[in-house]
Amino acid sequence: MLLWVGAGKPRYGPKVASIAFISDIGGVNEGLFLSICVAVIILYFSSICVIRWLRWKGRLPENLGRKERIYGYLAILFCFVGCAGLFVLAKYNSYDYPTIHWGGTLVFIIGVALSAIFQTLEVWQLNKEHGERKHLKRNTYFKLAIVAGDLILATAFGSTYMYCHGKATATYGHTASECDDVSSKAAILEWTIAYGLNLYFLTLAADLWPAWKSNKQFLERAEVPEKEGQNKVPDLRRSGVWPPCIVQSA
Q: Tell me how crowded residue 83 is: count the other CB atoms within 10 A of its CB.
A: 23
The residue among 196 and 210 whose pLDDT is bigger is 196
At 214, the pLDDT band (50, 70, 90 cuts) reads: low
Q: Give how far Cα 135 sits from Cα of 54, 73, 76, 129, 155, Å.
A: 16, 22, 22, 13, 30
**pLDDT at residue 223 tops 80:** no
Under DSSP, is residue 245 helix (H, G, I), strand (E, B) or coil? coil
At 236, the pLDDT band (50, 70, 90 cuts) reads: very low
* Each residue's pLDDT tens digit, 99-156: 999 899 999 999 999 999 999 888 888 877 666 666 777 888 888 899 899 999 999 9
Q: 55-69, 77-91, 205-219: which range is least confident on average? A: 205-219
Given a contact cutoff of 8 angstroms between Cβ atoms, the answer to whether 147 and 78 are in contact is no
Residue partners of 134: CB distance under 8 A and separation at least 6 = none
The residue among 140 and 81 whose pLDDT is bigger is 81
* Each residue's pLDDT tens digit, 162-197: 888 888 888 778 888 888 899 999 999 999 999 999
pLDDT at residue 52, rounded to an integer: 87
Rounded Cα gap, residues 116 and 137, in angstroms = 16
Rounded Cα gap, residues 71 and 143, in angstroms = 15
pLDDT at residue 130, rounded to an integer: 65
pLDDT at residue 211, rounded to an integer: 73
Count CA atoms closer than 13 A to 201's CA, side-chain side: 13
The residue among 151 and 211 whose pLDDT is bigger is 151
pLDDT at residue 248, rounded to an integer: 45
- Region for 8 from its dihedrals, namely left if φ exceeds 0, alpha if ψ lies in -120 to 50, beta otherwise: left
